[in-house]
């Protein structure tokens, strides 16, 4: 869709030259596509779900490696366009990913903005509970202990549900 988005932004800016564009992305793109996006966007919101490839693959169907590469690229080359990194907190699914993600971001620049989003049940996880208030506060504490200075949480914590016994390990065929 990138060529169409570029054209829409180009046309919008002909009508209103000051048009602002925020791209909210899961980060899965080539380096070339990321540069193209950064050329027309005024801000970017970047979602992170896991640090480990195995967890990211189980949640999204793709590896974390290109997402982390792009997250670092933005921090190093387009920090002024970064609105925030958003890390969805899914109870019992990606809780162990919070510390490594916070450490990863802090190692690049401790001032980068990070927002933890309280998971809300939907789609495949429609019966899974949302993140509890205590978990959200713990995520902020972990991130601060990792060195992050601009960290907070958002969303509606405490949505009820049932945690299923799911094995997210990759099975070798």
Q: How far apart are CA 136 and CA 88, in angstroms?
A: 10
More confident: 109 or 163: 109
Task: List b or e across 131-154, with b for residues whose CB sees 16 or more CB atoms inside 10 angstroms.
Answer: beeebbebbbebbeebebeebebe
Q: How far apart are CA 92 and CA 100, in angstroms?
A: 16
Asked if 128 and 121 count as a contact pair (C-beta separation under 8 A), the reply is: yes
In the chain, count H helices and then E strands. Answer: 6, 5
Which DSSP symbol is given to 62? S
Examine the pLDDT at 152 and tell me if it is beyond 70.
Answer: yes
* pLDDT number for residue 170: 46
* pLDDT number for residue 167: 57
Asked if 71 and 51 count as a contact pair (C-beta separation under 8 A), the reply is: no
Examine the pLDDT at 12 and tell me if it is beyond 50.
Answer: yes
- CA-based torsion, 93, 99, 104, 105: positive or negative: positive
The whole model's pTM is what? 0.87
Examine the pLDDT at 171 and tell me if it is beyond 50.
Answer: no
**Residue among 63, 51, 79, 85 at smallest CA distance from 154:** 85
- CA angle at 82 for the pair 110 and 30, rounded to the nearest 5°: 105
């Amino acid at each position: 869709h990138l060529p169409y988005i570029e054209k829409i932004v180009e046309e919008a800016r002909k009508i209103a030259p000051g048009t602002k564009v925020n791209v909210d992305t899961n980060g899965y793109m080539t380096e070339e596509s990321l540069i193209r996006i950064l050329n027309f966007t005024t801000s970017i919101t970047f979602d992170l779900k896991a640090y480990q490839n195995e967890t990211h693959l189980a949640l999204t169907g793709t590896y974390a490696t290109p997402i982390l590469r792009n997250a670092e690229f933005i921090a190093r080359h387009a920090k002024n366009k970064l609105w925030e990194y958003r890390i969805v907190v899914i109870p019992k699914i990606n809780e162990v990913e919070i510390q490594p993600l916070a450490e990863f971001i802090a190692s690049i620049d401790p001032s980068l903005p990070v927002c933890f989003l309280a998971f809300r049940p939907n789609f495949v996880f429609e019966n899974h509970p949302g993140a509890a208030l205590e978990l959200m506060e713990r995520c902020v504490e972990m991130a601060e202990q990792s060195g992050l200075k601009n960290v907070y949480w958002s969303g509606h914590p405490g949505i009820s549900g049932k945690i299923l016994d799911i094995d997210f390990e990759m099975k070798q065929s």
